[in-house]
Structure 1
Amino acid sequence: MQTRVSTKGQVVLPGPLRRKLGLRTGDRLEASIENGRIVLAPETKRARRVRITKDTLTGLPVLDAGADAPALTSREVEEILASFP
């Protein structure tokens, strides 16, 4: 993917890259130069806001972490539930 540097020195990160890393407006990035390349890395992961909603089909309560939340594998769900009190 390509992007351009604006006259103000700004660079737009393509949407697929932002979504893959879960980056949102206001997130901080650490900038460095490694082997003549510019490297941007998220400073830290922030806690995701999750809310309980009602499933429209079943009427059962579900956790909603937003449309940009990463998909969890069955194994990850099992691990989360195993540590649930």
Structure 2
Amino acid sequence: MTVTLSSKGQVVLPKQARLRLRLQPGTKFTCKVEGQCIVLTPEQSIRERPKLVTDAATGLRITQSPAGVRVTSADVQAAMADFP
């Protein structure tokens, strides 16, 4: 994936990358320079374990991500696109 640096020093992360990492607007990143590379790492790990909660509508136990991020149909479709 190729991105372009704007005159304001901004880049737009490709949609495919944002979906795959479940990045939301306002996500903060740490920025490091390693050799000739710029490495951006989301401050909140997407690998945090979900917690079990009780759904208010159904009373069933469901998993919820630590950030409360909901998985949408688009998220599922993007994830499935990587499978044969």
TM-score range, shorter chain: 0.5 to 0.7
Please name the residue that 1:57 is paired with.
none
- Partner SS state of residue 38, structure 2: strand
* Runs of 5+ unmatched residues, structure 1: 55-60, 72-85
Please name the residue that 2:71 is paired with.
66
Please name the residue that 1:3 is paired with.
3
Tell me how large the CA RMSD over aligned residues is: 3.4
- Tell me the distance in 1 between the aligned counterparts of 2:20 and 2:32: 21
**Cα deviation digits, residues 24-54 of structure 1 (max 9, x gap):** 1000011010121000001113788x99598
Aligned residues with identical type, % of pairs: 34
Q: Which runs of 4+ in 1 moved over 2 A?
A: 45-48, 50-54, 61-66, 68-71
1:41 has 2:41 as partner = yes
Q: Based on CA coordinates, which of the two structures has the bigger radius of gyration?
A: 1
Contact 1:4 1:11 in 2 (8 A): yes
* Runs of 5+ unmatched residues, structure 2: 65-69, 80-84
CA 1:51 to 1:29, structure 2 compared with 1: closer, same or farther past 3 Å? farther
Please name the residue that 1:78 is paired with.
none
TM-score with structure 1 length normalisation? 0.57
Matching of residues 49-64 of structure 1 within 5 Å: 52=55
TM-score with structure 2 length normalisation? 0.57
